[in-house]
Amino acid sequence: MSAEEGMQKEDIEALAFKTGALLEQFVRYCEQQGQHQTAMAERLQYAIGSVPEQMKQSADKLFSTLPQTVMVQLDSGLSAPIKNYERKLQQSSEQLQERVGQLTRQLAQLESFSRRLVWKVAALVIAALLVAVVGGATAVSYYRDQIKQSQLSADLLHAYNQADVTLCDGQLCANIDKARQKYGEHGQYQPVRLR
């Protein structure tokens, strides 16, 4: 494996590791945000539900301690403002419930987006790993072929080194062993004597 291919493999592995870490951090962040939003929505829902009851209890307690005559006078004088206040309180409660609904929908959209993002990142990581595996397999196959060719060349060089051959006017000359068996279709090849 060349140094460049080794660096590419290390870069791919580092990228895959960083992508996995980033994905894990993003998933944790989304889970934390989802839990926080859910808790806030529950607290808000509880507060909305308990406001009218608390107001009623406070009013009952307050009015039960006043003398009957004061209550009649207060009732006649305060009934319109109290009804107005109750109406406004009801409107506020409805608006608050509507906002909680919007927040819940936004949270659902965020969860859907985060799931899609997780799948996309996972697909990218898998694709990068597949590219790395295919590249590695190709490199291994290439180098295996190179080793085989080098082995054949090494065997041939070893045979040349043992043979009694020399150059004669720029051509290869050999000391032939005529006593040994001939090779080739027509017996045109004879073994060379060893040095």
pLDDT given at position 148:
80
The answer to whether the CB of 109 falls within 8 A of the CB of 10 is: no
In the chain, where does the domain assigned CATH 1.10.287 lie?
Answer: 3-131
Q: What is the pLDDT of residues 51-68, one digit of tens each?
A: 677 777 776 776 666 556
Contacts of 37 (CB under 8 A, 6+ apart): 103, 107
Residue among 105, 124, 118, 102 nearest 23 (CA): 118
**Residues 90, 98: Cα–Cα separation, whole Å:** 12
Asked if 104 and 41 count as a contact pair (C-beta separation under 8 A), the reply is yes
- CATH for 3-131? 1.10.287
* Residue that the structure tokens 């009623």 belong to: 56
> Crossing angle of helices 3-65/68-162, nearest 10°?
170
State residue 70's pLDDT score: 61
Cβ neighbour number for residue 147 with a 10 Å cutoff: 10
**CA–CA distance, 52 with 2 (Å, rounded to integer):** 76
CB 19 within 8 A of CB 124: yes
Residue pLDDT tens, the chain, 195 long: 567 777 777 877 877 788 777 778 888 888 888 888 888 888 877 777 776 777 777 767 766 665 566 666 666 666 777 788 888 888 888 888 888 888 888 888 988 888 898 898 888 889 888 999 999 999 999 988 888 877 767 777 787 778 878 888 888 788 787 778 887 888 777 777 777
pLDDT given at position 56: 73
